[in-house]
Structure 1
Amino acid sequence: MMTVGPKRWIVASLGLLFLLSLIVVSYREIATERRPTERPRPVVAAADRVCVDCHGRVTPSIVHQWEDSRHATRGIGCAACHGAKQRDPDAFVHYGVRIAAIVSPLDCSRCHQREFREQTGSRHADALALMRENDGDVARFVGAEPLGCQGCHGARVIATGAGQLDPTTWPNGGIGRINPDGSKGSCSACHTRHDFSLALARAPEACAKCHQGDDHAPAMDVYQESKHGARFREMHDEMNLGSSTWIVGRDYYAAPTCATCHMSATPSQPVTHDVGTRLGWTLRPVVSVRQAGWEDKRDAMVDVCLQCHADQWVQNYFTQFDAFVEDYNGRFAMPARQIMEALRRKGALTPAPFDEPIEYTYFALWSQAGRRGRMGAAMMGPYFVQWRGAYEVARVFYSELLPEAERLRPGITAPFVTTGARVTRARRPAPAATLGERR
């Protein structure tokens, strides 16, 4: 019969073996996690060898990013993108090679012609011009252009010779940048250099640099509040963001991102780099405007929605959205604009922009609260629709704009304002042939 002592020894030995096995397994798991992911093998062309060797020492992160890119695996290197001609305004000779620091959309068009054509005709490419409209005076007045508004809208980059660029215009990665070669845009605003990751360009964070904030462009804020954003955060690993095709409903289905709705492919329409292709309204100005050909643009957006939602759901949602925008236009935006125009005609406002309190009140009404509400309605953000949008629009309109206008010119608001709140009933759903089946 075995004594107590040997039993304890056996149990202790087994326990020690078990503990050692756990340590070995844990070590192997940790080693596996720390092992670098296999990187694509870069193809370094002869023209790029000196660049890669030198910048591997001077700016190693840039080289490593490029080595991770699809460009590198195809032998598309430094010279292919940065190589310049003598006539290029920003060209200079760098260690015996003529290059340009700025890689413009025109440069990218040598390989990406369709993308260049679409982007050149898009709202993104005109972002700098759009900044000069409506609220652009705010940027010029406070002197925040280079690091503020131009960081998103872009700058007209001025080459001063010998490869030097005017520091008031460069560096700049704004989507509407005017490049020294005359082309508009910056591909790297979305396709961040030097790995040009598809996954990053498709992620909402890529758009958030510019389309966020509680003032006039809160798209990311609305997205994060919505169920779309909640699903993306929870199911990020299921998004297949690096797919070569990335067709919704085929390559992924967990959640939509900004790119899903505005740019990326569906089974029935291709990817586009014209971000206005699917937008029936423009919500940017004081008064929202239907786009030319808005029915076809709406159909293109509906096609995206139908990949996840039922036809009636989609139709009724757009009915609600249109009703909200039309109510904002009719009850607040148009009267406010007419009042401001009347004040200016009567000489109650100086020609200079943003030098009187009511101009800031007007700006807060349409560019801040008005855009929050309209974008919230477009992207399923009820908090932004109601409390950060509609409520703030009404509060500013009735308690600030109207009293301020009356102090400047008594009686001036009467022709433009209807007493009491008008209730706008949602229209009946449009036929399916209008919203879902017109292909």
Structure 2
Amino acid sequence: MTTTKYLARLLLALFLVWTGASQAITAKDPQQLTSQYYADHPGKGSHGEYWQPIPIQKYWNPKDFYKPPTSVTGEVTRDQCVACHQSLTPGAYHAWQNSSHAHLDRIRSINNGQDARFYKKEKLAEIESHLVKQGILESGAQLKDVGCIDCHGPVGAQSIRHDKDLVMPDRAKCGTCHVDEFAQAESEKDQEWPQKQWGKGHPSHAVDWAANVETAVWAAMPEREIAQGCDMCHYQQNKCDGCHTRHTFSAAEARKPEACATCHNGVDHNEFENFMLSKHGTVYQTQHDAWNFEAPLKDALTKGNYTAPTCQFCHFEADGEFSHNLVKKVRWAFNPQTTIADNLDHPWFKDRKALWIKTCSNCHSPSFADAYLTAADKGTLSGIKVEQEAKQVVEALYKDGLLTGQKTNRPAPPAPEKDAAGGFFQLFWSKGNNPSYVERVYADMWEHDLIKLYKGLFHVNPGGFTYTEGWSELMRDYAIIMDENTKLREGKSAKLSDAKSAPPERSVLNAFAQDLSNRYVLGGLLMVAGFVLVRKKK
């Protein structure tokens, strides 16, 4: 290689390193992160004209709906906030009082490097460094605590106007101090599917509010108190307290499977039940008293003494690194789709399967991990095959106009929703014969049974994907759909048969002639009857 070429390559390498480093620094700049976060936020979404928030929703999306209460006016200090809420909301006060936020000195006093919490000293120093760079903390100064005002007002403020400045903390507010975690969580928005199976960043916690407000039936429902049940999980894009419960905000709590249970349960995403009833969950339930959840996930198997995985250990890890980006290994995502099933041999999907095998190999052999994941893939493919066959039957009934009441009693769903056979909206809206019975069964089949089959397979719950949930339920609903299809189509055939055997329609002239003829015949018969009666009397 010539000297010129060597220098050129060296300069190129240095340029790439420099730009990469620049991008990394930029990605962790709190102001830029915050600006981008608000620029990306969907607010009320594209269906915003169809719904209005109810009061409780200010807590699920404080960015757009929260306004300070006017019950307390004027300036309040840091100490006044604590003293007041100690008596007004003692539950919140004691949760904070028991937290690391209230006692940063406890973190500074950890000197034993073998203490599982030792990493927090470095984390605290990192947070203070970020605050110095933002001009919030003076160089060399240390945080005394993280109090009410730091979260519900400007970080570091000594006082605020309670009725003017009070805020409900959102992701960006937490990101002021927890910059790395904020950046990692927001990086979920960068995920792109190779065949556009999902939109950019979907599905993930980072865009779950967007997914919520962009769902037509959610915006269409007049029952806003029911619809906000979706908000209570689909608000992780807005806040961090879905995992880090206020006002303790305990990292140790957030590392336990129960922290995921509020949202990851039920008929369309029963991950928690599947995990807890798996052998992994059995080990967790019987042995977790000996585990140390103060240890960060990267030390879970050493300092934490874990003897089985948790939700967090598996989903926060990718290629040996742990972060708040939980979608680096996503393959099937929320629900199985044919567009994914048909592309599992694509390098994007194969690379992610390899990452999962590496994760499982923390406890199992790579051979075992590969064998099980392959079996789970094939089991999911079997479920998709059944669901797709049922889908074709239901859509054909809709196309042929054979659904019960389709031509006489099928109101259109409220705007902005559009009518469709077995659509998602039919789980949450019903009027007349919309949905018909067969459609409702199909909606349950694809949104519930198939997903439960898939979730049970990949969370290693055998009863979950065979008998109790999943496959057995798929078979039941498949049988119902096929039975209803036969009944509805045989009903049409019978009507057609009756129509063919019926006499041809008569013209007006023929009808008149036939009626006249019938009258003459009837009159003749009456005359004969009368003549017979007269003869008998004689």
Distance 1:232 1:103 in 2: 33
> Structure 1 residues 54, 259: CA separation in 2 closer, same or farther (over 3 Å shift)?
same
> Structure 1 residues 142, 250: CA separation in 2 closer, same or farther (over 3 Å shift)?
same
Letter in 1 for 2:243: C
> Structure 1 residues 115, 207: CA separation in 2 closer, same or farther (over 3 Å shift)?
same
User: Shift of residue 347 of structure 1?
Assistant: 4.2
Q: 1:106 aligns with which of 159, 172, 177?
A: 172
Deviations 1:275-305 (A, max 9, x none): 2222221242565836883233323322221
Aligned pairs for 1:368-383 within 5 A: 368-383=448-463
Check if 1:205 corresponds to 2:250.
no
User: Shift of residue 408 of structure 1?
Assistant: 4.3
For the Cα contact (< 8 Å) 1:279–1:297, is it kept in 2?
Answer: yes
Q: 2:387 aligns with which of 324, 333, 337?
A: 333
| Equivalences, count | 326
Distance 2:482 2:214 in 1: 24
Distance 1:410 1:119 in 2: 55
Distance 2:453 2:217 in 1: 21
Distance 1:273 1:144 in 2: 31
Letter in 1 for 2:389: P
Check if 1:194 corresponds to 2:262.
no
Check if 1:221 corresponds to 2:273.
yes
For the Cα contact (< 8 Å) 2:454–2:470, is it kept in 1?
Answer: yes
For the Cα contact (< 8 Å) 1:238–1:254, is it kept in 2?
Answer: no
Letter in 2 for 1:234: T
**Which residue number in structure 2 is paired with residue 360 of structure 1?**
440
Residue 289 of structure 1: SS of its match in structure 2?
Answer: helix
Distance 1:244 1:223 in 2: 21
For the Cα contact (< 8 Å) 2:277–2:461, is it kept in 1?
Answer: yes
Residue 395 of structure 2: SS of its match in structure 1?
Answer: helix
User: Shift of residue 50 of structure 1?
Assistant: 1.7
For the Cα contact (< 8 Å) 1:286–1:333, is it kept in 2?
Answer: no
For the Cα contact (< 8 Å) 1:190–1:201, is it kept in 2?
Answer: yes
User: Shift of residue 190 of structure 1?
Assistant: 0.4
**Which residue number in structure 2 is paired with residue 58 of structure 1?**
88
Residue 176 of structure 2: SS of its match in structure 1?
Answer: coil
**Which residue number in structure 2 is paired with residue 273 of structure 1?**
324
Distance 1:186 1:79 in 2: 17
> Structure 1 residues 225, 346: CA separation in 2 closer, same or farther (over 3 Å shift)?
same
For the Cα contact (< 8 Å) 1:279–1:301, is it kept in 2?
Answer: no
User: Shift of residue 367 of structure 1?
Assistant: 1.9
Aligned pairs for 1:267-346 within 5 A: 269-284=320-335, 287=338, 289=340, 293-330=348-385, 332-346=386-400
> Structure 1 residues 396, 141: CA separation in 2 closer, same or farther (over 3 Å shift)?
farther
Deviations 1:222-270 (A, max 9, x none): 112111111111111222111245434323332211111111x58x522
Distance 1:235 1:145 in 2: 38
Q: 1:119 aligns with which of 173, 176, 185?
A: 185
> Structure 1 residues 277, 410: CA separation in 2 closer, same or farther (over 3 Å shift)?
farther
Residue 165 of structure 2: SS of its match in structure 1?
Answer: strand
> Structure 1 residues 270, 70: CA separation in 2 closer, same or farther (over 3 Å shift)?
farther
**Which residue number in structure 2 is paired with residue 402 of structure 1?**
482
Distance 2:354 2:491 in 1: 45
Q: TM-score, normalised by structure 2?
A: 0.55
Deviates more, 1:315-324 or 1:241-250: 241-250
Gaps of 5+ in 2: 1-75, 105-144, 190-200, 414-424, 427-433, 493-538
**Which residue number in structure 2 is paired with residue 5 of structure 1?**
none
> Structure 1 residues 218, 144: CA separation in 2 closer, same or farther (over 3 Å shift)?
farther
Q: 2:229 aligns with which of 148, 151, 174?
A: 148
> Structure 1 residues 299, 377: CA separation in 2 closer, same or farther (over 3 Å shift)?
same
Gaps of 5+ in 1: 1-45, 86-91, 154-173, 176-183, 413-439
For the Cα contact (< 8 Å) 1:222–1:381, is it kept in 2?
Answer: yes
Larger Rg: 2
> Structure 1 residues 144, 52: CA separation in 2 closer, same or farther (over 3 Å shift)?
closer
Deviations 1:165-185 (A, max 9, x none): xxxxxxxxx33xxxxxxxx33
Deviations 1:29-64 (A, max 9, x none): xxxxxxxxxxxxxxxxx9521211221122222222
Distance 2:368 2:207 in 1: 34
Deviates more, 1:246-255 or 1:134-143: 134-143
Q: TM-score, normalised by structure 1?
A: 0.66
User: Shift of residue 138 of structure 1?
Assistant: 11
